[in-house]
Amino acid sequence: MELSINISGQASNQRDKNFRKWKSESFPSQIPRDDDPKKMMDEKLFKYAEEDKFDELFRELRRVSSAELSSIIYTQVSPSGNSLLHASARHGSKDVTELLLQHFPLLMTRKNFHKDTALHLAAGAGQLETITVLINQAKGHGEASDFSNFLEMKNDRGNTALHDAVIKRHHEVAHFLVSESSMLLCTENNERKSPLYLAVVENSFDDKLSDEKMFTILMDAIPDDVDLLNKLEGKSPVHAAVQGKKRKILEQIANKKPDLLRRKDEKGGNPLHCAACMGYVWGTQFLFDKYRDGAIQQNDEGNMPIHVASKKGYVDVVAAYISKWTDPAEFLNSKRQNILHVAAESGRHLLVKYILRNNNLKELMKEQDLDGNTPLHLASKNGRSIATFTLVRKSSKFMKRIANGENLTPYDVAEKQSKIVGAEYSGEPIPNGKDDQVDHKSENNGEKPPTKDKSDHGVGNHVDQDEKSGGKGKLDYYGVMMTLSILHFWAGPKRSKVEYFRLKGRPLPKEEIKGRIDSLLVVAVLIAGVTFAGVLQLPRSADLPEGGPSNITTTTTTNSTQNQGISAQNEGILRNVYIYFDMVALNAAVMASIILCWAQLYDVKVAAHAVWLASILTGGAIYLMCLAFVFAVAINVGNSFVFFVVTLVVGGALFLVQTVLSAPLIIPPNANQIIERIASPYLYFVFFICYCAFEWLLFKFSKRSKNKGEPK
């Protein structure tokens, strides 16, 4: 034991002696040139620097010429552009670092290919000893401003050495650097992140306890007289703490630097806006108690925090604000909208239900915003069907008839929006004038703009899904139509039945007529070919031999058909009916083909009527061809009475369906508008019921999954 201690002590003494020797040596002064091309360094020298073998390294440096020495020190680098000082500083080679800085002090500010100085690499690696050597050398080299500039040097990511130390969670290094210059805390990088912000944000190198420790170190290093609110650059660490739901960090900020709670993000939102956007109830309550003024501040969109929570549909956050201030009608955004306006506009039907269940909040339904819109107007305008259904059932007759600034009731707004989505869906020009959007005045201080912005047509998603599309865009077709159907039954004006029969026809474009002619002509010719082939090869009973009778009116009986199904006489009757239907279908298809051929020779107005007539004939041909097919099948299965009856029953049922489907082909084209007017409200209301059922099942499933995931 004593022998090993002596040997170790002798080695240490010898190392110290060699270190003092090399420290007293002198090397030719060199002036580096930045325009010199970089060269690959000898790996052996690089290893000496990494392993703190200063004796071996400086022996090699002593052997070379002055020019070659300059090349090794300033020109030769590793593949990442690191010099000998970079290597020694990153690997904690204290002696090599100290000797290199003494003999070649200009290495201190040299950067690698990524703009990292030796201080960056040492800070990222957590090498406190080499950092201390670098800092001491920087203090004794040049003026105070040079030292400050050295500490604030940035790499290609915009990071200072403190940024790298904080990212890697090297607590002692961060404490040492910030003690040298507290202003490093306020410097932002390319991502607009300061070291104080990075101390809050989680990364792959740490856990929450490490975050809190690092943040405490940085906060303790800030002098009391520093105006951190104005000095701090980049993103707000308070917002980061809210987003990470880090209570202890929020409590530290509130206790040590409460002014930071007033910091806003790039969208003009304070920390209360951030908590409301996330649905963070504890954060909302805590920040409200510490910074009450923030509850009435508006972000760049003109919304207070409670409006942000309403837009997101966070019932608990809205309830927390109401518990602090019992009259939510006082909370109005820049459009004079209350929380029910915002919830209805965004389709947050759960929040709408919560507000309407509270007797103290029902009066919010009657309030009108800057454009004169009630919450029902906004829900109707944006196609929020479930929110509209909830509101309209709670509204009085007077509320349903209230007109907005454009003298439109909620039903009028929904009807107008249906025309817009109809035009968008069909690719037609969006209607102008009274058929344009409602919501334009709020952005122009109550004055209507002379032109309409197509991008302000509303929010393009189903109920309660607006945030998935990020706000305004194209209206959702089915959402608008379901909303209109709801208002048709609950808030629609009482109209005379005669109005349903007032047709507003429009001439078909020439291109559309030509397309219809081409399509109908192809169908008609195909029907003619099929029906012609059907006469050439008549259907026969499966029991008749191949060479058997084929006469239409045959009455010959065979042993195989007697007493097993239909008689031969009845089979002949069925065959005759088949031929008659097939013949009529053939002639109808041929006539339709002839009409379509000469329709192309006449004026567009005449061609439109010809297309309608050809549609009737073609539809009738298809109709009769299907009936003929039923009789052909009946003949083929006639040997079995059961199959025969089944064929007639199924054929009869399909006959009724085909009769209904053929009706639109018989009536004039403009008359289809009557069917659409009468049937569409009922059809879309059925869609609405199905949609509500789907939303309910989805809500129950997500709630059950959430409950299973929570620890017991």
**How large is the average pLDDT for residues 501-522?**
72
Six-digit token pair at 633? 């099948």
pLDDT recorded at residue 645: 78
Residue type present at position 702? S
Residue type present at position 562? Q
Output DSSP code: residue 436.
S
**Could you tell me where the beta strands, DSSP code E, fall in 593-656?**
none
N residues, the chain: 712
Output DSSP code: residue 168.
T
Second-level CATH architecture of 157-263: Alpha Horseshoe (1.25)
Six-digit token pair at 243? 């987003």
> pLDDT tier at 466 (50, 70, 90 boundaries)?
very low
pLDDT of 455 above 90: no
Residues 99 and 22: beta-carbon distance below 8 Å:
yes
Please state, in angstroms and as integers, the Cα–Cα distance from residue 666 to each residue in 616, 660, 670, following that order.
5, 11, 11
207 phi, psi to nearest 5 deg: -130, -175
Q: Does 462 or 518 have the greater pLDDT score? A: 518
pLDDT recorded at residue 700: 82
pLDDT of 353 above 60: yes
Output DSSP code: residue 409.
-
Topology, domain 266-334? 1.25.40
- How does the average pLDDT of the chain come out, rounded? 81
Q: How far is it, in rounded angstroms, from Cα 417 to Cα 440?
A: 14
Six-digit token pair at 46? 């690089």
Q: How far is it, in rounded angstroms, from Cα 71 to Cα 704?
A: 70
Q: How far is it, in rounded angstroms, from Cα 187 to Cα 77?
A: 29
602 phi, psi to nearest 5 deg: -110, 180
Q: How many other CB atoms are there within 10 angstroms of residue 12's CB atom?
A: 10
Residue type present at position 637? V
560 phi, psi to nearest 5 deg: -75, -25
Q: How far is it, in rounded angstroms, from Cα 321 to Cα 57?
A: 69
- Mapping DSSP onto H, E and C, the string for 233-296 reads CCCCHHHHHHHCCCHHHHHHHHHHCHHHHHCCCCCCCCHHHHHHHHCCHHHHHHHHHHCHHHHH
**How large is the average pLDDT for residues 60-86?**
91
Q: How far is it, in rounded angstroms, from Cα 295 to Cα 305?
A: 6
**How large is the average pLDDT for residues 242-269?**
93
291-301 pLDDT, tens per residue? 999 999 999 99
Which of 201-210, 245-254, 632-641 shows the lowest per-residue confidence on average (mean pLDDT)? 201-210
**Could you tell me where the beta strands, DSSP code E, fall in 543-684?**
none
For residue 238, give the nearest of 270, 213, 279, 190 by alpha carbon: 270
Q: How far is it, in rounded angstroms, from Cα 710 to Cα 405?
A: 49
Six-digit token pair at 345? 């506009």
Domain 39-143 in CATH 1.25.40.20: yes
Give whichever of 513-522, 578-587, 592-601, 634-643 has the largest mean pLDDT: 578-587
> pLDDT tier at 65 (50, 70, 90 boundaries)?
confident
pLDDT recorded at residue 428: 66
133-185 pLDDT, tens per residue? 999 999 877 666 688 899 999 999 999 999 999 999 999 999 999 999 988 99
pLDDT of 83 above 50: yes
pLDDT recorded at residue 272: 97
Q: Which residues of 479-498 are buried (b: 16+ CB within 10 A; e: fewer)?
A: bbbbbbbbbbebbbeeeeee
Q: How far is it, in rounded angstroms, from Cα 194 to Cα 160?
A: 10
Residues 45 and 60: beta-carbon distance below 8 Å:
yes
pLDDT recorded at residue 116: 96
For residue 218, give the nearest of 250, 246, 244, 179 by alpha carbon: 179
Whether the CA torsion 456, 462, 467, 468 is positive or negative: it is negative
- CATH 1.25.40.20 residue ranges of the chain are 39-143, 157-263, 266-334
Percent of the chain scoring above 70 in pLDDT: 79
Q: How far is it, in rounded angstroms, from Cα 373 to Cα 287?
A: 32
Which residues does residue 40 pair with via DSSP β-bridges, in sequence order? 77
